[in-house]
Amino acid sequence: MKRVEAVPAVFKGKMGYNIKVNDPRATLQDYIDAVEMFISGSGCFRSRKPELETCYGCDLCCQERIPVTMVDVFNLTGPNVEEAFKKFLHVYVDRRVVDITMALDGRGKCIFLDNTKGTCTVYNMRPLVCRTFICCPSTGGAKKLREEIVNTGEDELVRSWFLTGENGITPIIHEGVSPSPDISDYPPTPFARTRDYNKIRIKDVCSPQTWKRLTTTNK
Ligand code: SF4
Ligand code: SF4
């Protein structure tokens, strides 16, 4: 039995999915693999483009807020995080809250989108949030898991953003409202120890409530 399974679930007649975790050692990579396999093979309902059988050539979800994790940035650029902030990330600071997302182009689309083909130019290295999204229904547990992983991974990226500032100078901010960020709001997370989704356990990232939902039959 796989350590994580994305299993079909039907919502008002539409095919969606639930996530089941079968082993406490399951990692974020196990989760990503399970969702990707489900997306490619299930024939699940695509609410934004119901006529499509695959996502190929549809770019509707590449033009919204795209949060990024520490591991995603490492996969895209290697250890030079500072370059990533200059080249493809967007840092928005609202008072003490820091939000780091993929930069959008002048038309509001992800800068890695090929606007002619409607496909991703960094497909093999695309962020977790892209790998695990499909516009089909999913259970509350599946939604919470994805949200908690992305938030934790983004918090670690915010922490590393603070560390790119030198001699007390605030790091690069692309947009802000009275920015007053404070690193004490961003303590180290399980993403601090590694840059590999294979080495981060789901159990260490998700809340006890979400873990319970994923490891029992409830949804
Ligand atoms: S990284 Fe690729 S899949 Fe993700 S939003 Fe950008 S273009 Fe779309
Ligand atoms: S998941 Fe994204 S790419 Fe696929 S059909 Fe839905 S909006 Fe389009």
- Whole-prediction pTM: 0.95
pLDDT at 53: 87
pLDDT at 217: 67
Residue nearest to atom 5 of ligand 2 (CA): 55
Closest CA to 158 of 179, 187, 194, 178: 187
Residue nearest to atom 1 of ligand 2 (CA): 134
Which residues in the chain come in under a pLDDT of 50? Answer: none
What counts of helices (H) and strands (E) characterise the chain?
7, 7
From the CA of 75, which ligand is nearest?
A: 1
pLDDT at 218: 56
pLDDT at 112: 98
Residue nearest to atom 6 of ligand 2 (CA): 135
* Residue 141 CB contacts under 8 Å (≥ 6 apart), including other chains: 18, 19, 210, 213, 214, 218, 219
From the CA of 54, which ligand is nearest?
A: 2
- Most ligand 1 atoms within 8 A of CB, residue of 56, 65, 77, 113 to mutate: 113
* Residue 147 CB contacts under 8 Å (≥ 6 apart), including other chains: none
From the CA of 60, which ligand is nearest?
A: 2
Judge whether 4 and 30 are in contact, CB under 8 Å.
Answer: yes
Exposure class string for 144-183: b at 16+ Cβ within 10 A, else e: bbbebbbebbbbbbbbbbbeeeeeeeebeeeeeeebebee
Residue nearest to atom 2 of ligand 1 (CA): 120
pLDDT at 209: 97
What distance in Å separates the CA atoms of residue 105 and residue 73, rounded to the nearest whole number?
Answer: 18
